[in-house]
Structure 1
Amino acid sequence: MSELQRPVRVLIHGATGRMGQALLRLASKGADGESVVVAAVSRTPGQRVVDGVPQFAARELNGVPEFDVAIDFSLPQAFDAILASCVARGAALVSGTTGLEPRQLEALQEASARIPVLSAANFSLGVAVLGDLVERAAAALREWDCDIIESHHVHKKDMPSGTALALGESAGQGGANPRYVALRAGDIVGEHAVQFTGLGERIELIHRAGNRDIFARGALHAAARLAGREPGRYQLRDVL
């Protein structure tokens, strides 16, 4: 359970996006049983209330109800406002927004001195465990080659993916020097393979995402456990 002794009040920021819609759908079904969505924020909401959840435009962010944690899957240009709102209200922030500028990353780090923050490129609990395995394998196989192969749908623009880069950081912490291969094909949700190759043998650590719900469940899981914690910069593995 969360540090709080009541249901965690969650704000969904970026509610009309694919991840925002998945979060609202799963939260309405009680996916984690520990939180309640008190507001949803998007650029231009079509209705004022959807399935009992009040809808707010981004320009109305200051008028949303009190919340314990915001889950942000928006765009870099919307990130500053939700971060400032969380700091002003003393609320936690769980963010999966990618492509942030260096100044925004610096602001996120500064905010962690005042509120608990968790920013990740991938909220799959399996990927969080994969990162730990990759670091341990890299530390044990320092003389082996390390390659990270990631595959996504044709509409994904960043190459390599944020998840691939995060896995590369894990490999680097173990002493490896990873290389990257990025594939864009069809409607692949997300596949990441980390390959360690030695003389005459090879190890592959693979994660395949079957649907986007796994990321939404992971974000809801993280939000329920981040709210009420001490200020700081957290990783997904810290709240597993």
Structure 2
Amino acid sequence: MINVLLSGCNGGMGRVLQELISNEKNMQVIAGYDSTENNNNSYKVYTDIDKCNEKIDVIIDFSHYTAFNSVLKYSLDKQVALVMATTGLTAENEQSLLKASKIIPIFRTANMSIGINVLLGLVAEAAKQLEEFDIELIEKHHNKKVDSPSGTALMLANEINDALNNSLEYTYGREGKSTRRNSKELGIHAVRGGTISGEHTVIYAGEDEIIEIKHTATSKKVFAKGAIKAAKFITNKENGFFDMRKVLKS
């Protein structure tokens, strides 16, 4: 049985994960970590992660980025695997994960959707084949999302830019009378509204033709399913840094 400490357990993603994990035969949420306690949980919820003394095999983190240091420190102190799914992390945070992966197994991606991680290869290959095309990226999310552009949008943009030898400069939205596009731009635009789970569209605009590659998440379950898959994958690893592409190749 894989014992999970669910960080951000009382949030939207935490609730979805609880539901899906409850249907797993060999996995259970044994404890939770959140900024507030909730008596409706079937397990103990801690507002101070250091007080959690249950036997934990893996942490799945879908919390706020401000909890990053506490979650990573606990993972290292307890020597448990960490699935880090929180967005809004800094470059310093990312480096801390890489350093910690030499000691414990860490899974890191900005998007847990299996479809998005397949999309990464598609957008990179399209960028190489359509080098003369203008590339724009539009991401849409619900009105409660706090960071923009989304981590997924940046992940897609970076994949495209890497494929083009990092020759593009990112433009975040446009406003004004002197915003004519140059050939080395990659436009990134954020939309927020309603309950949109997540939609990412990469547009390749050439002369007289347009290609769009799009991914739409119709519910948060796609992210939860990916996180569960990742947790199963890294639980028995000694250490290392893993992403969804490594999981899909296994």
TM-score, shorter chain, exceeding 0.5: yes
SS for the counterpart of 1:50 is: coil
State the Cα distance separating 1:158 from its structure 2 match.
2.1
Give, in angstroms, the shift of residue 230 of structure 1. 4.1
Q: 2:33 aligns with which of 16, 41, 61?
A: 41
Residue deviations 1:198-234, cap 9 Å, x none? 2222221100111111111111111111111242221
Q: 1:39/1:103 Cα in 2 relative to 1: closer, same or farther (>3 Å)?
A: same
Mapped partners of 1:95, 1:228: distance in 2: 16
Contact 1:39 1:64 in 2 (8 A): no
**Further displaced range: 218-227 or 179-188:** 179-188
Equivalences for 1:110-129 in 2 at 5 Å? Answer: 110-129=99-118
Structure 2 distance, partners of 1:211, 1:197, is: 29
Counterpart pick for 1:207 among 195, 201, 215: 215
1:220 paired to 2:209 = no
2:33·2:48 contact (CA, 8 Å) conserved in 1?
no
Correspondent of 1:194 among 181, 184, 202: 202
Q: CA RMSD in A?
A: 1.8
User: Which is worse superposed, 192-201 or 165-174?
Assistant: 192-201
8 A Cα contact 2:32 2:45, kept in partner: yes
Structure 1 residue runs of 4 or more that deviate by more than 4 Å after TM superposition: none
Does residue 1:104 correspond to 2:93, yes or no? yes
**Is the contact between residue 10 and residue 34 of structure 2 (CA under 8 Å) also seen in structure 1?**
yes
Tell me the equivalent position of 1:3. Answer: none
Give the Å deviation of 1:193: 0.5
Alpha-carbon shift at residue 187 of structure 1 (Å): 2.2
- Percent of matched pairs sharing the same residue: 37
Which ranges of structure 1 fall in alignment gaps of 5 or more residues? 1-6
User: Quick check: 1:14 aligned with 2:8?
Assistant: yes
Per the alignment, residue 153 of structure 2 pairs with 164
Conserved? CA contact 2:49–2:71, under 8 Å: no
- Structure 1 window deviating more from structure 2 (33-42 vs 141-150): it is 33-42
Q: CA deviation at 1:60?
A: 4.8
Residues 157 and 88 of structure 1, relative CA distance in 2, 3 Å threshold: closer
Which of 38, 44, 55 is equivalent to 1:55?
44
**Bigger shift: 171-180 or 220-229?**
171-180
Counterpart position of 1:140: 129
Deviations 1:40-80 (A, max 9, x none): 22223223x833xx213132534331222100111222221
Q: Given residue 22 of structure 2, which amino acid in structure 1 is its aligned partner?
A: S
How many angstroms apart in 2 are the aligned matches of 1:58 and 1:210?
A: 31
Determine which of 169, 174, 188 is the counterpart of 1:180: 188
**SS of the residue aligned with 1:221?**
helix
Match for 1:92: what amino acid? A
| Offset at residue 172 of structure 1 (A) | 0.9
The structural deviation recorded for 1:191 is 0.7
The offset of 1:135, in angstroms, is 1.3
TM-score (norm 1): 0.88
SS in 2 for 1:122: coil
What residue in structure 2 maps to residue 4 of structure 1?
none
The amino acid across from 2:2 in the alignment is V
The 1:150–1:86 alpha-carbon spacing in structure 2 relative to 1, beyond 3 Å, is same
User: 8 Å contact 1:137–1:174 — kept in the other structure?
Assistant: no
Query: 1:113, 1:232 within 8 Å by CA — same for their partners in 2?
Result: yes
TM value normalised by structure 2: 0.84
Aligned equivalents of 2:49 and 2:217: distance in 1?
35
- Alignment partners' CA distance in 2, 1:95 and 1:132: 22
Q: CA deviation at 1:168?
A: 0.3
What is the Cα deviation at residue 122 of structure 1?
A: 1.4
Cα offset, 1:18, TM superposition: 0.7
